[in-house]
Amino acid sequence: MTIEVKVPVLPESVEDAIIATWHKQPGDTVHRDDKLVDLETDKVVLEVPAPVDGTLKEIKSAEGDTVLSDELLAIIEEGAVEPAAEPVAEAKAEAQAATPATAGQKTPAPESSKLSPAARRVAEEEKVDPGSVPGTGRGGRVTKGDVINFLKGGGSRQEERVKMTRLRSRIAERMKDAQNTAAILTSFNEVDLKAVMDLRRKYKEQFIGQHGIKLGLMSFFVKACCDALRKHPVVNASIDGDEIVYHNYQDIGIAVSTDRGLMVPVIRNAENMGLAEIELAIAHFAHKARDGSIALEDLQGGTFSITNGGVFGSLVSTPLLNPPQSAILGMHTIKERPVVVDGEIVARPMMFLAISYDHRIIDGKDAVQFLVAVKETLEDPTRLLLGL
């Protein structure tokens, strides 16, 4: 009996998807729930599993094709198959594969899944050993360009044209729209993080023991922003047509860098959460974003965003708005610098802060006062407990 595998019904805000990677090829045995193919939308990657046990009979759409909801992807010939290998056996096989080859033995060639269909065809036509071709694609995947460059003798002046992923194209589109639509202005300040660093150092072990997660910097920034947004609600607002929408809640987007591009999962009602809850939510979203399992609803909405270029060493930058939000806070690297405290020069862990905002609805006064409120809270975290 043949079974049709179709594109899942895409969310309302997603028009179509691009076939990113086929994990099985015609003739391969598949087990129910095996990952067949990854579909890349402009927001997330959707995994399509095998609905039944059987053999993949035919693939109807190739990698790079654009597909719509309910479109036919492949056909599976249903039938009994051998049970999937036991995890122990798989681990043993992986360990053996990782063992260096002994004298007289050949190192096995990479799995066929490391070759794109186009690369496999060229390699077969030109009788090239795929194992000798270095892959430059995602996850070490060997592309057609890799095989062609290998045939040409390689060299230091290689070039490869790679089509933008759907996510990267969408990021480019949204960022350019933000620049074209909003009147973006950026204001700066600096914050002395000694009080926060001392708190983290003092309660580090107790916090991990009680909550099972490290006490990071981001949770302090999220709470400080929530408090500042409460005091300056226009920074938490957005434009809808000729109206300003004021939100009486704070859904904070946290920018996460992944191999596929920047994602901004949203922590809902962050104003009602404690530091531990925020740290757990950030860790959860970061893991999902990086392993490709993040859901579309995790990325939708948000009233304000925070991005941390400091993890990459950025000293100062001007973050770009995440529409339809009207403001974003930029964190940066922490540097010990000499500052004057009570008339004395001392070394303190300092960070530059930046707020980019839409000047159409946020005046400079509101943006600057918001940034000062964030600074004051971080330099004296007890203000959060006292509601000051």
- What was the pLDDT predicted at 100? 42
Residue at 203: amino acid letter = Y
- In degrees, rounded to 5, the angle at the alpha carbon of residue 259 between the alpha carbons of residues 287 and 42 is 90
Q: Which of these is catalytic: 53, 363, 366, 380?
A: 363
Instruction: Determine contact, residues 235/374, Cβ cutoff 8 Å.
Output: no
Tell me whether residue 359 is one of the annotated catalytic residues.
Answer: yes
Three-class SS state of 40: strand
- What was the pLDDT predicted at 138? 67
Instruction: Output the 3-class SS for 197-243.
Output: HHHHHHHHHHHHHHHCCCCCCHHHHHHHHHHHHHHCHHHHCEEECCE
Tell me whether residue 287 is one of the annotated catalytic residues.
Answer: no
Two tokens, residue 379 = 């330099």
- What was the pLDDT predicted at 77? 87
Q: Which of these is catalytic: 31, 247, 284, 359?
A: 359
Give the model confidence (pLDDT) of 252-307 as tens digits: 999 988 877 788 999 999 999 999 999 999 999 988 888 878 887 888 889 999 99
Give the model confidence (pLDDT) of 98-112 as tens digits: 444 443 444 444 445
Distance CA 101, CA 122 (A): 28
- Residue spans of the chain under pLDDT 50: 86-111, 155-156
- What was the pLDDT predicted at 154? 55
Give the model confidence (pLDDT) of 127-161 as tens digits: 777 777 877 776 677 887 788 888 776 544 566 77
Residues 219/220/222/225 CA torsion (nearest 10 deg): 180
Rounded to the nearest integer, the mean pLDDT of the chain is 85
Distance CA 371, CA 224 (A): 10
Domains of the chain: 2-78 (2.40.50.100), 87-151 (4.10.320.10), 183-386 (3.30.559.10)
Residue at 13: amino acid letter = S
- What was the pLDDT predicted at 230? 96
Run of H or E residues at 179 = helix 166-181
Kindly give, in sequence order, each residue whose CB lies less than 8 Å from that of residue 156, ignoring residues fewer than 6 positions away. none
Spacing of C-alpha 271 from chain mean position:
23
Q: Give, as one character, the DSSP assignment of residue 299.
A: H
Instruction: Output the 3-class SS for 334-359.
Output: CEEEEEEECCEEEEEEEEEEEEEEEC
- What was the pLDDT predicted at 210? 94
- In degrees, rounded to 5, the angle at the alpha carbon of residue 103 between the alpha carbons of residues 99 and 109 is 55
Q: Give, as one character, the DSSP assignment of residue 131.
A: G
Distance CA 134, CA 149 (A): 10
- Give the count of beta carbons closer than 10 Å to the beta carbon of residue 183: 10
Residue at 109: amino acid letter = A
